[in-house]
Structure 1
Amino acid sequence: MKVRVKDLEEGCVIAENIMGLTSKPIVRKNTMLTTLHIEVLQAFQIKHIAVSTKKADGSIFFAEAVDETLSNQKSEDTETGFAPEKAPKSFENLYTDAVVLYKNEFSNWQAGSKVDIVALKKSILPLVERVSSDQLCLYRLHQLPEAEDYLSNHSVSVGLISSLLAKKLGCSQGLCIQMAMAGLLADTGMAKMPKSLLDKSSGLSQEEQVEIRKHPVYSYQFIMDSALLKQDVKRAIYQHHERLDGSGYPKGEKGNHITLYSQIIALADVYHAMTTKRLYRSKQSPFKALETILEDEFGKFDIVVVKALQKLIGNLATGTRVELSNGTLAEVIYTQSEYLSRPIVKTIPVGDIIDLTRQRKLYIDRVV
């Protein structure tokens, strides 16, 4: 039977795939619904879905069924109070909504308000779902943010990348959501910084650097009493600027004292910063950033997490169209497992074959 999403209960069983704008379902048929699933459906603004009359535990699910023939008629919609279902928002619109919410919340934090974790979670959940089912969205992240709105864009993007890295490392769906929240909340402590420091477009003085390095502590203070975040995730927020070689902050922790979850946020943070335009420097290609992390940041990050990022960003499918750093359009024809960011490509329309492992001055600038 088809029922309203607002009437759903935990344990209900989906009777048919729930589709969005992508080729993969938002929720698959026969899925037993949890509170998280229901939140995702609400975030995608889905009004009605088909469910089994029996719940997963065998009990009967009682809810008023929606008459599909009537709900499709405008006149009947008015009488019954059911509005036509809206098409799911585009990735760009979902992203913009999350950034706007974060920006507004940040202003509230600056004024002394507490962090509304529930509101932030609702804003990023549909984005996590969308990127998980359509990974090409990930390549659009570095094209979306603008330098003047950096912090809000950065926080949303770090949340998304953190969740995908967690998934690539085999974490459960629930933990991937927690990591998305951790990445999103990692820089909340920046709200404690002087506005003049946040608006500065040039390099920081030594005193200003000392001040900025306090923000992970403030971020932790903002969320330390929340029952909605796991303790390990809170610790990851506190440690997201620590580095394995001891060069990080706020405590200069080393090696095993830095958790895997902290490393996930740390790498997502650095990668996104490299691939985003700032007021004082240009952005790098995602593929160039991968190489920079491997070469210039060696020893600072867990190699397991770095390899997960390589697979997430660099492992392009055969047939993927890309633009090279010299402006040439090409198509991926083969990727070697040890050189994920440097596949063999065929130029368009000429058809020249270029092995990017040999042509080191060339690299992929973007996915077309």
Structure 2
Amino acid sequence: MAPDYPRAVLAGFAVAVALGLLVAGSTSGGAFGSYNPAWDGTSDFRSMAGDEAETLSIARNTSVYDTADANETLAVLLSPEQRYTDRERRSIRQFVEAGGTLLIAEDVGPNGNQLLRGVGARTRFDGAPLRDERRYENGPALPVATAVGLDNDSVETVVLNHGTAIRAAGATRADDPNGTMRAVRATNATVLAASSPYAYLDRNGNETLDDDETVARYPVAMTERVGDGRVIAVSDPSVFINAMLEHGDNRAFARTVVAGHDTVVLDVSHAGRLPPLQALLLTLRESPLLQAVVGTALLGVLAGHAALLDGVAALRRRLGASDTVQRPRDREAVVRGVTARHPEWDDERVERVTQAIMTRRTERDGND
């Protein structure tokens, strides 16, 4: 039988389209997206958190803070795109005060500071770009910070990517930059990582150290007590993206932050939309009623499929039986035709020619 190239090409195209739809439906291209496998996504961090914790939860709303076991839970918010409402901030604050750990990573957006203020933290993200002309990777906009307050010897450096610094609440730009570390520590916060003494905040964004910009050592990661819980602030969410996990000791830093918690909640409630397929799977997990409906529907489809297969098998048996009866009749007709045309041939020659004719018919029927 000759190869059916058009059918093979069509089947290959259908498979490619199906795979494309599956990938598109299960991944996201948004920056800091938990299901974004590109350089600016955090799919690697999500996988790491799932490996470190007993339970990994993707939270699409803040109701998770009302039901979580606060003492065993770390909630992670990476550069939230939208503001949290007063009610949502109260819910998160109650979670922290009850013993929960909240990690907020932000650089220039206003929503990180709004949330720090809402949960009762006394530190803030400065917002101005942090640069370092001496200690950096690939350029001054990627300053190399030193870990100073982590209980992990494997973390020595944290590399930022267009990040900012952390300051004490109430501090102004006119305050002495060299007093930033002291002011942050005065809030009873513990500095986890700080820039080199040659870093500066580029207030006017001209990527140059100006006369009114002072080099100093700035905090870039810290933790402080709020009630019975903790708030961890990191002044650059890019520390956790796929590409930056490979710089410095960023991966070890991320793992250290996550370690020690039974449950890790990745709060994406204010960070853009999830991929459609992942959103559907999360909806199924959260709704027992929907699980029952979908399960019943699948059982119905499987039962229908089984009935269809039984019907096809029965039809094939019938057609096969008919074909078995028909073939001897066809052969007899060919023998009669060959004998009538060549009465001088002996039986052996007639049989040989008949077999050749039957073989050609079978091949032709297969190609059709």
Structure number with greater Rg is 2
TM bracket, shorter-chain basis: under 0.3
Bigger fraction of residues in strand:
2
TM-score, length-scaled by structure 1: 0.24
Q: Structure 2 length as normaliser, TM-score?
A: 0.24
Higher relative contact order (CA 8 A, sep 6+): 2
